[in-house]
Structure 1
Amino acid sequence: MKKLLFRGLLKNYKKIIPILSTLLMIFCSLPGNVSGAPGLNYRDIQIGDIKNTSESVYDYIGKLIKANLTDALKKIPYITIPTNERKILAAELGIPDGEISSRLPPRVIKKDGSNVFLPIYISGEYSLDRKTDIVSVKIEMENRATGIHRVLANENIPINDLVLNPGPIINKAIKNLVKYKLYTISLVSLPENAEIYVDRSFVGKGSVNNFFILPGYHTFTAMLEGYRDYSEVININNDNMKIELPLEPYQSEVSIQISTQPLNSTIYFNEKLIGKTPDVVSLTPGEEDVIVLKKDGFRSKMIPINEKLWIPQEGERPIKYKISTKLINQQRIPVLIETTEKHKKKAKLYSYIGFGFLGASILLGTQKTIEEQKSDIYGNMGNENYEKAKNNSELLRYLTWGGAGLTIALFTKSFMEILKYFNGYKELSIIKNNCNSMAK
């Protein structure tokens, strides 16, 4: 069957190919699959000219504003799409308006193109007053889906301030465009060449200015080789906040005094052999620092090093630390298991015997009470059995007290064996946990 199908396809491939091509063209022409159908996934923003209405020698100002505006638009989180705009976009695409999100990421387009779909068109103009060196800048937008036109910024700025720092007017235009609360912050790492991350996303190196961010809590992180990572959660509740991210350098070298029981155990630092105990070793930090102590016939022991060990301390260099530990003899494990089981069995045996003596003591006590009652009756009657009942009562009293004493002793012995059993079990659990740690 497969061979016949394959032969049929080979014979008719010239007829099949045009049919497939036609179907593909029809599929691509459907409204939901139009090239650049941004209403579903993003919102087009087209940046037009920033026109110079003064002398042509100042055309560079327009290019400067456009470049900064383009860069800023790429950094905003999303564009808010009102209900009426969603309906217009959906109608043009031929899809339900519910399929278009109310928040869409921007797609910035500098030039005209056939794939631009009802964009938000941003343009502007500026002029320079040669007498005062003041630049009048106006930035405006036109939403070509809804027809709405708005001025985003209209400022008079000294030319030197505009050229050196166009951020303020750009930020104003962006915040008027997005229609939701958006703050700008400045980030700087100490030292200045660290990588900076905001909510785990890389945003720059050393310093980041005019960074757009939503209000609320965000995680700021700085990373640099040779320094401990710095991370802090900060509540962004104000505009133009400046955030410093200070990193602490690792200690270049630290001395650790290591001793073990028994002595002459091998020391490994990050899997590298460095000596035998007792010894004072000089170590340099790594990302995951671990000391492992080994000796034949004993369980190896792993000691993770606390990060705080590597932080420089004032007036101490090199720093000295002490590690003292006891290795577990492997031969003790089977002995410990056997001893623990013996304690368990003894505890059961002593408790069983104790319950036996407890029952016997109760019976003896009951019989003693009966003999005492008999001696009282015989004494009142002057019966000759009085002395016999009295002697039996005394004997049973001693036996009852003796049985009670043995019962207490047996239960005490059983309790002590139970304690020994639990101590042995606890030691075995510790050994098991150490073994699991080493396995990991």
Structure 2
Amino acid sequence: MTSEAALRRRGDTLSWLEASGSPEWFQALRPEGIPDQVDVILITHPRFPEDLSCFFPWAEQLTTAEQERLLRCLRPLLLETVVMPGLTAGMMFLPVHAGDILNPRRTPIARQILLQDAFPMAARYGAKVVCLGGLNGALSRYGHRLTPLARGLGIDVTIGHSITVICVWETLVSALRQLGRTLAAQTVSLVGVGGIGEGLLNLMALRRQWPARLILVDRPRQQGRIRQALSALNVPAHCRVELVDAPAGQALPAEHRAYDADAILTATSQADVIDMAHVRPGTVLVDDSQPHCWSREAAWQRVQSQQDIVPCDTGLVDCTSLEWFSRFNFGFAGERARSTAWSCLVEGLLKGLDPTLPCTLGHPDTQTLAAWDEAFGRFGLAPAPLQCGGHELPMADLRRHFAAADFRSGSA
């Protein structure tokens, strides 16, 4: 077959299960349909073994153990390429899931696949920009493990954290605006002050957008670093900041001060940190975590039954202005679901369209964020419609219910 010969000439080792085992959208993306050059490639991974059914529907008939075994038989998958004005972009999935990356016994294997399989494959497709999704930023020491190889190949590597930070913040601002609330009157909890969390602090300082009260939640050993970061930001006097310890390896208990907030932002790699049963009525939740920090199922059930919380997925960008259109069903909600893209991919798209933008390596500082914040507006981007687990949030109904129930006004 011509496609097989073309792949052999490229020297690639792609996993490919023919159209009989693939969803309809996959049939249009046979190897001969892949352009000779893919300018921007996102390297990401499934969250769970069950996500294999997004690629191969028959995989949902397998047990979790069988899905694990199948995943480990695969090579990196270039699952979709999208041609848009100015560049061609591709999405490559590693055959590892978030649990593998977080498992100390599996982490070296996942890192080897990223460095020795996926990245060289991206280079063979002529990528000028490689962006890292999911936990691949942490897996590559926030991109630094890839820079020597990338430099030799003429590839820019960016980890997506700048646009992710902007998207998280824009999602919060959008939710508050649709509820008729003002940020300056809110108490905001930030659970996890790592790469994304520290970036959010930098963005608050850059935009001079501060809540009335800020509760920072992280492990005790992180307090020194957090205090040092705060000292460089000139937090205004009207914003009261509290540092609160997080218990190791477990959900925050009901009495934890994080639940006192009007809005809870979560950005940590620990699963199920927030127990939906402890979340107070009137709370906005914004989660950008792998694995998830709170149950999407429990949150959506509460929206339907009580209408007393606004639980938002984030890291999703409306890319209509870029003429982005994906065939892949990511389960995004809203009329513009096909024009929605992950923030980590969007950072790569913007870098491909404007090579002068700085690469994000490590925690994004205010100078880096300033450049990306300007680009986010210049390219006409916006957060995707507010959604939870693939369901668009009924914001008009929630606003009416919040007002009728007289939930907390947002005063600190």
Identify the TM-score tier after normalising by the shorter chain.
Answer: under 0.3
TM-score with structure 1 length normalisation?
0.19
TM-score with structure 2 length normalisation?
0.20
Higher RCO (CA-CA < 8 Å; seq separation 6+):
2
User: Which one has a bigger Cα radius of gyration?
Assistant: 1
